[in-house]
Each structure stands twice: as structure tokens, then as C-alpha cells.
Amino acid sequence: MINLQRALRGMSPPQTDQDRAERFNASMAKREAGNFYWGFISLGYHERMAIYALYNFARQVDDEADSLGANNENLPARLAVHRDRIVRAGRGDFGEDPILRVLAEAMARYKIPERELQMLVDGCEMDYTQQRYATFDDLKTYCNLVASVVGRMCVRIFGFSDPVALERADDLGMALQLTNILRDVREDAVDMKRVYLPQEDLTRYGIPEAALSTGEIHPGWNRLVQHHIARAREFFVSGYEVLRYIPRRPAACVKTMAGIYEELLKKIEREPHLPLRERTALSKTEKLRVVVKSWLSSG
């Protein structure tokens, strides 16, 4: 009898397709999400699984654009496959696709509009059709598609007390994307042949586009960096207002993700030439410091 009881205690319920899909999404997010994963872990189970699936889908679409390259003529057709996946997820037709299975549940549970997911694909398609942005207003259109709309969908998953939360999420997504653009200046120019810094800013501060690839320092670079950081911080200030409208645990998630990106900005501010040399990053210790601070301030 004792041996039977021990055996029963050691037995696990059979794994369902949903269990396996959720495990797949959790593993992929942990492997791929980088800075964002540190925020994800503060969420409740259902919210966390929905965010994992949303992130994983966005990552697949983004990787499609990056792996094929901005000038690859096959990109629109490949992205059309992801557009169809969104439509199928919206009607609960996910087949054997583990990301789509969990994403479909999230769309239904949290009322994520199909159109917002399609906007994300629109943004990635812009990397095929446009590799330069004349003005900041032009860049904002791109950032809205690849970042702000993601923040908006996250807030739908978190829950909110006032629809203005969606607008503040747009601003926070803009702040994060502007930080990405500065962080990845050299990588984007060299590997992807893309320049996201507005051409009007490069001209204003006397920075030839070639310098982004070669790392050559020009007198106006520091002032351009200061200008870009000030612009990003304006969006951080407005974006942080979202915390007033979402629950405590998601607030810790948002504070963690945004806090890590603010620390990246501070690092670049202290060393403005860093983005011309390498991709700016935080150490694990620096990230943990942000996590602890975010959790304590959300308690």
C-alpha cells in the first residue's frame, strides 16, 4: 500500500496538446525574448502565456524580414503566410502550430483585434519597402506599426480601467522602439542596410550616413544622440502613465521592461560613441537590479 501511494504521488496527469503548446511558447520566449523576458515573469499564468505567444509570433514575423533581407523579393509572399495565420487564429483554426494555438486562445480571451496583429506584419513589410525615413513623422509611422501596436495588445492582455491606457501604451512602445533604434545603429546599417535615424536629423547634425557603418566619429554625433535620447524620454514620461490604469502585477512587468530600456539610454548617454562601436547591452546584474526595483515599487 505504501509503495502504491508513493507511485500515485509520483504520477503526473497526461499532457494535452494545449500543455505542450504552452510549454513550447514558454521555452521559446525564455530563449529569445532577452530584455522583455525579465518583465514577463512577473505576470500571472494566463497573462504570461498570452504574452509569450504574442511575443513569439511577433518574433517569427520580425525574423522573417531580417533573415530574408530588406531587398528580398520573396518577403511579401512570406509575410502573406503570417497574415493568413492571423486570420486562422481569429477563427480558432490553429492546426499543429503551437504558437498559433496559444495565440488563438489569447485573442479570444483578451479580445485582441485581428487588425492589430495585421498592423505588426505591415510594419515588418515596411522593412522591405522602405529602408530610410526622411523625417521623424515618417519614422513614427513605422514605430507605431512595429512597437506601439504591440504595447496596445499587451495592455489588452493586462486589463485596464480606462481606454486612455491604450494611448499611453502607444507612447511607451514608441519610447522602447526609439531606444532600440539608437542601440542598434551600427548593426542595422552594416547587416541590414537600414537607417532608422531620420535623414533630417543626420543632416541637421552633420552626420554622413556612411559613418553609421564605419563608426567614424563626427563632431555633431554627441548632439544627435542627446536629441534622440531627449525625444525618447518624452515618450517614456507619457508612456509611464499607463501604470495608472493597469493591475499591480502587469505594472511590475511594464516597469521592468521599460526600466531596462531606460538603463540602456543612460548607458548610451554616458558613452555616446558606444552605438557606433557595438550593440549596447546591460549585464545580468544590471537587469536584476531593475527587476528588484520594479517589483518592490509595485508591491
Q: DSSP label at 242?
A: G
Give residue-wise pLDDT tens across range 45-73.
999 999 999 999 999 999 887 776 545 67
Residue 12 confidence (pLDDT) above 80: no
Distance between alpha carbon 178 and the CA centroid of its chain, in Å?
12
Position of cell 499587451? 154
200 exposure class (CB count in 10 Å sphere: 0-12, 13-18, 19+): middle
Q: What is the pLDDT of residues 215-242, one digit of tens each?
A: 999 999 999 999 999 999 999 999 999 9
Cα separations in angstroms, 48 against 21, 44, 158, 279, 290: 13, 6, 9, 28, 19
123-141: pLDDT as tens digits: 999 988 899 999 999 999 9
Cα four-point dihedral sign 229, 232, 233, 234: positive
pLDDT at 65: 77
pLDDT value for 263: 96
Q: Which residues contact 126 (CB under 8 A, 6 or more apart)?
A: 142, 145, 146
Quick one: pLDDT at residue 73?
75
pLDDT score recorded for residue 13: 66
d(C-alpha 209, C-alpha 130), whole Å = 16
